[in-house]
């Protein structure tokens, strides 16, 4: 019996001190939003629809007595936008979310997202609030310098040697990956190569001297963000990096239901091409957009990652009571 208990490894992956620090950061997060009049909400974890993004895989289950499959949320975004369309105003949520196939130093299939939406904000205004929250949570142990803000194209120019990432040919991207020592099983499409370069060559170098916002993502990576006019047009999307770790992903939210449906359907077609499961579209979200989504910006912040940065942890497991391998 004692041998079996040792094999099972019942002890938590986080120290008591780490969990105390996490609890304090949760309390300060709630105080931050309370001071700004942002309402804390809770939305369902299970849904009859799922994320269409080909890079995100949902976990699913069946419920006795109900038809079809139900999907564990990869983000509370769709339900929160329905609240906004219904007139609930500024909202935030500290949500447990689930993504299949994500496991590693900075990934866990079950994790915590801090997500919030601000009416009347664009991506620039929301970046300022994200910076304020990060500074509030990391102090007093660490004082952050004012955040740097650079475009996606500039980040790839500085750290991957790409002179024009938004227009670069497939061959140019392949050559950049080779220069950066990135090995992969190919061939890959443009966005897959850009993701590898950002994830392996660029992101790990960002945000050490001060937080770094990467903004103006390629149109092909707009997701649920609206577009900014230009040549070429770019997405009103940003990500925050601190100590080489991606912390947050935000959008000036797309409100056009026809364009959102087009993007969802393009995602599903890509998933079919790759041989991935094509989940049902969230028709309730599209109906909410049709009813009218107020002008707003929203952001999803990896709370576990921010806790790890705040506490100087080396992995998510050190700030989770039980990571997936010990649950």
What total number of domains does the chain contain?
2
Tokens 């997500």 label which residue? 115
Residue 2 domain flag: no
Contact between 30 and 259 under an 8 Å Cβ cutoff? The reply is no
| Same structural domain, 246 and 301 | yes
**CATH number of the domain residue 292 falls in:** 3.30.930.10
| Same structural domain, 30 and 79 | yes
| Same structural domain, 39 and 183 | no
Q: Specify the pTM.
A: 0.94
| Same structural domain, 191 and 257 | no
Residue 20 domain flag: yes
| Same structural domain, 107 and 70 | yes
Contact between 326 and 13 under an 8 Å Cβ cutoff? The reply is yes
Last residue of a domain, one of 175, 206, 237: 206
Strand partners, 271: none
Residue 3 domain flag: no
d(CA 234, CA 249): 15
Mean pLDDT per segment of 10 residues, for the chain of length 327 residues? 62 96 98 98 97 95 94 98 98 98 93 98 98 94 91 97 95 95 90 95 96 97 95 96 98 98 96 94 97 98 97 96 86
| Same structural domain, 34 and 60 | yes
Residue 302 domain flag: yes
Contact between 116 and 289 under an 8 Å Cβ cutoff? The reply is no
Last residue of a domain, one of 189, 206, 223: 206
Residue 89 domain flag: yes
CA neighbours closer than 13 Å in the CB half-sphere of residue 180: 28
| Same structural domain, 50 and 96 | yes
Q: What is the 3-state secondary structure (H, E, C) of the chain?
A: CHHHHHHHCCCCCCCHHHHHHHHHHHHHHHHHHHHCCCEECCCCCEECCCCCCCCCECCEECCCCCCCCEEECCCCHHHHHHHHHCCCCCEEEEEEEECECCCECCECCEEEEEEEEEECCCHHHHHHHHHHHHHHHHCCCCCCCCCEEEEHHHHHHHHHCCCCCCCCCHHHHHHHHHHCCCCCCCCCCHHHHHHHHHHHHHHHHCCCCCCEEEEEEEHHHCCCECEECCCCCEEEEEEEEECCEEEEEEEEECCCHHHHHHHHHHHHHHHHHHCCCCCCCCHHHHHHHHHHCCCEEEEEEEHHHHHHHHHCCCCHHHHCCCCHHHC
| Same structural domain, 44 and 118 | yes
Last residue of a domain, one of 185, 206, 227: 206
CA dihedral 301, 243, 307, 102 (to 10 degrees): 60
| Same structural domain, 255 and 114 | yes
- pLDDT, residue 326, reads 77
Which domain range does residue 298 map to? 9-147+210-326
| Same structural domain, 126 and 252 | yes
- pLDDT, residue 199, reads 95
| Same structural domain, 111 and 60 | yes
Contact between 219 and 191 under an 8 Å Cβ cutoff? The reply is no
- pLDDT, residue 235, reads 98
- pLDDT, residue 186, reads 76
Strand partners, 251: 237, 298
d(CA 23, CA 319): 10
| Same structural domain, 39 and 179 | no
Residue 1 domain flag: no
Tokens 């002890």 label which residue? 11
Q: What is the 3-state secondary structure (H, E, C) of 212-261?
A: EEEEEEEHHHCCCECEECCCCCEEEEEEEEECCEEEEEEEEECCCHHHHH
Q: CA 303, 323, 107: angle at the middle one, nearest 5?
A: 55
């Amino acid at each position: 019996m004692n041998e079996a208990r040792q094999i099972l490894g019942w002890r938590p992956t986080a120290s008591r001190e780490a969990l105390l620090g996490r609890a304090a950061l949760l309390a300060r997060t709630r105080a931050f939003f309370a001071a700004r009049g942002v309402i804390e909400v809770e939305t369902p974890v299970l849904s009859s629809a799922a994320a269409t993004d080909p890079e995100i895989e949902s976990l699913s289950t069946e419920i006795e007595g109900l038809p079809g499959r139900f999907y564990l949320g990869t983000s509370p975004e769709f339900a929160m936008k329905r609240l906004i369309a219904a007139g609930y105003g500024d909202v935030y949520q500290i949500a447990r979310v689930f993504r299949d196939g994500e496991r590693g130093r900075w990934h866990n299939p079950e994790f915590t997202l801090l997500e919030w939406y601000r009416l009347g904000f664009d991506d620039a205004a929301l970046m300022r609030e994200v910076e304020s929250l990060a500074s509030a949570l990391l102090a007093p142990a660490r004082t952050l310098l004012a955040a740097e803000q650079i475009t996606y194209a500039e980040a790839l120019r500085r750290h991957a040697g790409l002179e024009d990432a938004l227009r670069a040919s497939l061959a140019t991207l392949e050559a950049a990956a080779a220069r950066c020592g990135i090995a992969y099983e190919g061939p890959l499409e443009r966005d897959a190569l850009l993701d590898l370069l950002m994830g392996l060559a660029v992101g790990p170098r960002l945000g050490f001297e001060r937080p770094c916002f990467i903004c103006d993502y390629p149109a092909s990576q707009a997701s649920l963000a609206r577009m900014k006019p230009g040549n070429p047009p770019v997405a009103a999307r940003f990500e925050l990096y601190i100590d080489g770790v991606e912390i947050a992903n935000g959008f000036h939210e797309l409100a056009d239901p026809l364009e959102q449906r087009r993007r969802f359907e393009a995602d599903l077609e890509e998933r079919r091409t790759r041989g991935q499961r094509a989940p049902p579209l969230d028709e309730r979200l599209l109906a909410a957009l049709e009813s009218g989504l107020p002008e707003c910006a929203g952001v999803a912040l990896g709370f576990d990652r921010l806790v790890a940065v705040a506490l100087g942890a080396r992995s998510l497991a050190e700030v989770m009571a039980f990571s997936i391998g010990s649950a």
